[in-house]
Structure 1
Amino acid sequence: MTQQTDGPAATVAQDGTTTTGPATAPAFITATEVDRIPTLLAPTSGGGPVTAGLYFRVGAADETLATAGLTHLVEHLALHRHGVSDLHYNGSTAATHTHFVVSGTAEEVVAYLNGVCASLRDLPVERLATEREILRTEQAGRSRGPNHQLPLWRYGARGYGLASYPEYGTLHLTADAVRDWARTWFTRDNAVLWMTGDTVPEGLDLTLPAGQRKPLPAPTSALPVTPAYLTGGSGGVVLDGIVRRTSAASLFAEVLGRALFTDLRQKGGYSYAADCEYHPRDTAHATITAYADALPQKQDAVVGGFIDVLARMCAGTIAQAELDSARVKRLKLYETPDLGAAALPSYALNVLTEHANLTPDEHRAELLAVTVEDLRDVARELHASALIQVPGRPVDWAGFTEAPQWSAPASDPAGTVHRSRQSDAVSLTVGPEAVTLVTPGGQISVRYDACAAMRVFPDGARHLIGFDAFVAEVEPTLYAKLTPDRMAVIDAAVPAAAVVPMPERDPDEIPQAAARRGGLKDRARGMLRSLRPGRG
C-alpha cells in the first residue's frame, strides 16, 4: 500500500498512444458495466487465477499541501477490513489515480472488490488515529528516488509538485474530512474496473455513490525559464523534462537510457546506474527522467558525459541501429501471451483519464513509423523543458539557467522588521500581506494568499510554504521582538485550510541564536549557513 507511479504493467498501451479523445476499449478487450462502473474484460488461456483492478481518478496531485496524504489515507482505510489473508491484494496511490488490485479465485476477487466498495461507502474512521501512525511509519521507511526533489522545483508546492513533500494531511485530518473526500472522489462515475476473464463473476456488488468523472489536475510551474539547473542532491545527476506523449518519445527514452549506460558505465566507468524512464503525466504529455550515479571523485566526469550524451542526441547524432534496437525491444511486448489481459491495467487507466486506446496493430504501426529524425525532435523537446540537478558546480556553460534560489525581487516589504539575533544583515518582516526574510544574498517572501501550508509548532514557530515552494521559517528564538501579537498577525492572515498543526519538537530541534562573534560579514555567513534551503 505504498505510493507508486505508472509501472511496467502500463507499458503496452501507455507508451504508444498518441491520439486523444473519447477512450474506448479496442476490439480484443470487451467493454461492459458493473453497477454503472465502466468495466473491461480480457480472457486468459490455460486457466489460472482471476486478476482484477479498480481504478479511481484521484491521487496525490489532486490534494493540497496541507491535506497531502488524504487519498492515501482513504486507500488504507478501505483495505483495513481485509486484515491478514493469503489473498494476493494491494492498493496504491499515485499522482493522478488510486488502484485496488487483487488476484485469486473468482469468489475471492468478488469478496475483495465488494469489501473495498463497502468500506468506501462506510469508512472505518475509528481506525483513523492508528492508520495515521502507520502512514507516518511507512513514509519514514520509504526509499526516495533520485528525482524526489525535482517535482517541487518544477511545479511548486501544489499539484504534481506534492510528490516531493511529506504527507502533512495525515497529521491532522478529521474523520469528517476523510469521509467527505471519499464521497467526492471515490464514486462510481470516477472509477473504472478491469478484470481477466470472459465474463463478470456472479455476486459483484460495487455499489458506490454517484459523482462525476474528475479531470486531470492542470500542471503548475515554478520555473520561469527552462532548461534550468539546481545543485545538490545525493551526488549523482538527474534530469527530467516534459514531452508530448508519443511513440517516438517512449522510444527515445529507451535510446537515451542505453546511451547513458554505454557512455557512463561501459566506456567511462564513471557510473554504476545510468538509465532513463518514460511515464505518462496526463492525456497529452509525459515525463522523461534520466539519471546517473557517481562517486565524489567522478562527479565532474559524470556531469560532462551526461550532458554530452543529451547534446549528441539534440544534434541528431543518433545511429539507426540505436533506434532499431529500442524498437525491437518494444515490439516484443506485443508477443506477450494473453496480450489483452496483460494490457488491461493500462487500457483501463486510459479510459479513466479519457486518453484514446489503440489496438496492438495500431501501436506496432506507430512504432515502425518512428524515424531517427523523430528522436532528434524529442531530444530537443526534452532539452527545452529540462530541469537537471547536478552535484557541485553550475552547468550554465551548457545552456542551463539556474532555477530561482530566491523570491522575485520586490520593493522594501511593509510591516514590522525583526532583526536576526545572529546577524545584523538578516531580518524578518511580518507584514499585512506577507512574511519576508531578507538576507545579503536575496529575499524569500511568502504571501498569505499564496501560502500552500503553514506548519504550526507548539513552541510558537510558524513555517510558511508558498505555492512557489519557497519557505519562510518564523522562529521566535531567532528574531528580536517576535511577540505573540506579531505572530497573531500571521495566524489571522493565513487561510485556515492551509494550517498544519505539527507535533511538539524535541528541545534540541528548536533553533537557538548562536553567540555573536567575528565581524559583520562573518556573522552573516554563519547565519546563512544555518538557514535551511529556500525551497522545500
Structure 2
Amino acid sequence: MIKQFESDGVPVLLAPATGPSHAGLVFRVGIADEPLARRGITHLVEHLALHSVGVADYHYNGATGVEFTYFHMRGAEKDVATFLNGVCAALRDLPMRRLAAERDLLQAEANGRTPGVAEPLALWRHGGRDYGTVAYPEWGLPAITEDDLRAWVARYFTRENVVLWVAGDALPADLRLDLPAGARRPAPAPSSALPGTPAFFPGSPGLVAWDAMVPRSTAAGVFAAVLERVLFRELRQEAGLSYIAKTDYQPVGADSAVITAIADALPEKHGAVLGGFVDVLAALRFGRIDPADVAAVVNQRAEALRHGEESAARLPAQAFALLSGRPVEDVEDALAAARAVTVADVADVAAAAWDSGLLMAPEPADWAGFAAAPLASASAVTGTAYASLEDSGERLVVGPDGVTATAGGTLTTVRFDDCVLVRAWPDGARQLFGADGTAIRVEPTLSANGPQAVAAIDARVGPEIRVGQPPREPGSIPRPRPRPVPPAGLQAAAIRVQKVLTGFRRASTRTQLSLLLKVLGSLLFAGGVAISAVALARGDSGAAAGILFLGGLGAYFAHQVWTGLGVLRRLADAEEP
C-alpha cells in the first residue's frame, strides 16, 4: 500500500518492496514546456545535474520526457540518499564549466537517436509548440546560456514542483531534499494545428499510424488495449498483412490522454493495411466489440495492478499523476475501476477517438471520412518579391508581417508574430518555423537579391527565437544550376518535332482523332484553294470567290492544327521528370 506524506516540504510516496532500495525524484517539466528556440534545455539541466553526482557502485540514471524529468537510483539506502542529495545540490548550483562539453554530448546522443515512428503525428497535430516540439531535434542547444539555465531551474526544479517516490521500508536516514521554493507548474494545454478532425496526412508507404486525443479515464486505457488486440488479430494473424500492430496510451496533463496505434506494411500491401486498419477503427466506433476482448484486457490490467502493488512498480506512475493534479489511486480503487468498464464504455471511447483521430497514411483516406490536413498555408504576406535564380515558378516574398515561399503554385507562410524559431547560418541561410508546423528555408544564393531578403528577415526577428548555426562547408552551400542554352537551327526543329510526337503518343484517343481530322481538313481546303487558283489563271471568273471561301476555312483549320500542336508540346513537357 502506498503511503503519502512530506519530507523537507516535498511530497513523498512510499511503498514496501523487496531487494535493494529504489527511489526517484520526479519534476513536472519536460519537452512540452520548452519553446522550440530553447529545445533541449531540460535535457541539458538533467545532464549537468547527473555529472555532479559522479560514479556510483549502483545503477542510477535520469530521463527527460514529454511532461516529466526524473532522477532515480537503486542501491543501498546510504547510496540512494547520497545520490538524491547530490542531485538537489547540483540543481541549486549547476556546474556551468561543463556547459560546452554537455552540449557536445547531447549532440552525439542525438546523432545516434532513431526518430519515433509516431513523431510526425505530434508535429501535424500540435505544430511547433508544446506537445509538437517532441518531433523536432534539440535545435535550441547552441543558444542556451548560463542565465537561461538558472532561470529554467528556478522556475521548474523546486520543491513545490517535485515528488519523491521510494520503494522500501522507510526514507533513507541521511536524505535531505534541499531544493529552492517555487510553485507547482501545470502541464501546458495541448494546442492544435489542425482545422478539424478526423484528418489524414501523407506518410511512409511502410507504415500506417493513427492517434487520438480523448478524456483521461480507465475506459480509455482499456479501449487502447482492445484496439491492439483487434488490430493484431485482423492484420497479422488473419490477413497476414502486418508484422507489427501495436497501440499506446499516454496521459496528457490532468484530464486528457493520447492513444496511438501503428501497423507496418510492405509497399505493395499498404493499401490493404490501410483498409484493414480503418475497418477496425470503424467497427469499434460503431460498437462492434467482442465482450471477450474487453474481459481479457480487464483481467490483464488487474493482474498487472496486483503485481505492480507487490513490487512497488506503481510508484513512478502515481508520482506522475500527483504532479498532474490527480490524487494517488489505491490499488483496490484501480482494480474496481478496471472491472467496472463495460463494452458500452469502450464503444463511447472509440467514438470519441474516431472524431479526434489523425491518420498518417501512405495514400489518401478521404474515402473513409478523414479530411486532408492542409499541405499549404491559407494566405500569403505582401511585400518585396525575390525571384528564384533556378525556377521561374518559385519566388520568395518578405514583408512586414512575415515570409511566403511559393513553389509549384503552393504557398508556405510563416508570420513573424507566429514564428517560434529561426535557424541562422553565417553564410546567410535562414530557416523559419511557424507555430503551426510550417517551415521555410531561405538560401540567399538561390534568389535574386538574396542578401537583401535575409537582411529584411533579420530586421524583424528577435534574439529570443534566433539560434545561430555552425558554419557550413563551402561545398555544401547551394549554387544556382546553370540554365540550359536553347538549341538552334535544325536541332531545335528536331526537338520540337520530337515533343509533338511524344505528346501525340501520350494524348487521349479522342484528342488524337480530333487533331487528325483537323489536319485532313486543312489539307483538303488547301487543295481546293490551289485548284481554284489554277482555274482563275485560266480565266474562270467564279474561281476568285472559291479562293476566298476555301482559303478562309483552310486558315481556320490551320489555326486549330497549330493550337493542337502546342497542346501536344505542353503535354510532353508536363510528363518529363
**TM-score, structure 2 length as denominator?**
0.83
Residue-by-residue CA offset, 1:294-351 (whole Å, 9 max, x unaligned)? 1111111111111111111111111111111111111111321643722111111111
SS at match of 1:272: coil
The answer (yes or no) to whether the contact 1:307–1:398 under 8 Å persists in 2 is: yes
**2:464 aligned partner:** 497
Whole-angstrom distance in 2 between the partners of 1:522 and 1:284: 57
| Residues 65/384 of structure 1: CA separation in 2 closer, same or farther (3 Å cut) | same
The answer (yes or no) to whether the contact 2:379–2:413 under 8 Å persists in 1 is: no
Root-mean-square deviation (Å): 2.0
Whole-angstrom distance in 2 between the partners of 1:370 and 1:135: 44
Q: Is the counterpart of residue 416 in structure 1 residue 384 in structure 2?
A: yes
- Using the TM superposition, name which of 256-265 and 196-205 deviates more: 196-205
Greater percentage in helix: 2
| Residues 488/409 of structure 1: CA separation in 2 closer, same or farther (3 Å cut) | closer
Q: Is the counterpart of residue 487 in structure 1 residue 457 in structure 2?
A: no
**1:147 aligned partner:** 118
Residue-by-residue CA offset, 1:60-98 (whole Å, 9 max, x unaligned)? 111100000000000000000233433111101011110
**1:473 aligned partner:** 441
Q: How does 1:251-270 map to 2 (within 5 A)?
A: 251-270=222-241
**2:377 aligned partner:** 407
Q: Is the counterpart of residue 357 in structure 1 residue 325 in structure 2?
A: no
Amino acid at match of 2:7: V
Whole-angstrom distance in 2 between the partners of 1:238 and 1:292: 6
Residue 234 of structure 1 deviates from its aligned partner by 6.0
Instruction: State the aligned residue count.
Output: 494
Whole-angstrom distance in 2 between the partners of 1:351 and 1:223: 31
Amino acid at match of 1:271: S
Q: How does 1:17-28 map to 2 (within 5 A)?
A: 28=1
Whole-angstrom distance in 1 between the partners of 2:56 and 2:309: 28
Whole-angstrom distance in 1 between the partners of 2:570 and 2:411: 18
Q: How does 1:160-179 map to 2 (within 5 A)?
A: 160-179=131-150
SS at match of 1:480: coil
**2:154 aligned partner:** 183
Residue 372 of structure 1 deviates from its aligned partner by 1.1
**1:207 aligned partner:** 178
**1:10 aligned partner:** none
Q: Is the counterpart of residue 451 in structure 1 residue 424 in structure 2?
A: no
Bigger RCO (CA 8 Å, 6+ sep): 1
Residue 220 of structure 1 deviates from its aligned partner by 0.9
Q: Is the counterpart of residue 226 in structure 1 residue 197 in structure 2?
A: yes
The answer (yes or no) to whether the contact 1:235–1:390 under 8 Å persists in 2 is: no
Amino acid at match of 1:390: A
Q: How does 1:50-449 map to 2 (within 5 A)?
A: 50-233=21-204, 235-336=206-307, 338-339=309-310, 341-391=312-362, 393-410=363-380, 413-449=381-417
- Using the TM superposition, name which of 135-144 and 356-365 deviates more: 356-365
The answer (yes or no) to whether the contact 1:156–1:221 under 8 Å persists in 2 is: yes
Whole-angstrom distance in 1 between the partners of 2:232 and 2:475: 44
Unaligned runs of 5+ in 2: 487-568
The answer (yes or no) to whether the contact 2:199–2:373 under 8 Å persists in 1 is: yes
| Residues 427/183 of structure 1: CA separation in 2 closer, same or farther (3 Å cut) | same
**1:21 aligned partner:** none
Whole-angstrom distance in 2 between the partners of 1:105 and 1:522: 76
**TM-score, structure 1 length as denominator?**
0.89
SS at match of 2:347: helix
Q: Is the counterpart of residue 32 in structure 1 residue 5 in structure 2?
A: yes
**1:11 aligned partner:** none
Unaligned runs of 5+ in 1: 1-27, 530-536
Whole-angstrom distance in 2 between the partners of 1:420 and 1:487: 14
Whole-angstrom distance in 2 between the partners of 1:493 and 1:525: 42
**2:531 aligned partner:** none
Amino acid at match of 1:397: W
Residue 469 of structure 1 deviates from its aligned partner by 1.0
| Residues 524/356 of structure 1: CA separation in 2 closer, same or farther (3 Å cut) | farther
The answer (yes or no) to whether the contact 1:29–1:340 under 8 Å persists in 2 is: no
- Using the TM superposition, name which of 156-165 and 74-83 deviates more: 74-83
The answer (yes or no) to whether the contact 1:423–1:524 under 8 Å persists in 2 is: no
Amino acid at match of 2:331: P
Whole-angstrom distance in 1 between the partners of 2:13 and 2:208: 41
Residue-by-residue CA offset, 1:401-435 (whole Å, 9 max, x unaligned)? 1111111135xx32110011122221101111111
Amino acid at match of 1:352: L
Residue 48 of structure 1 deviates from its aligned partner by 1.5
Residue 477 of structure 1 deviates from its aligned partner by 1.4
The answer (yes or no) to whether the contact 2:32–2:129 under 8 Å persists in 1 is: yes
The answer (yes or no) to whether the contact 2:208–2:360 under 8 Å persists in 1 is: yes
Whole-angstrom distance in 2 between the partners of 1:156 and 1:198: 45
Amino acid at match of 1:430: V
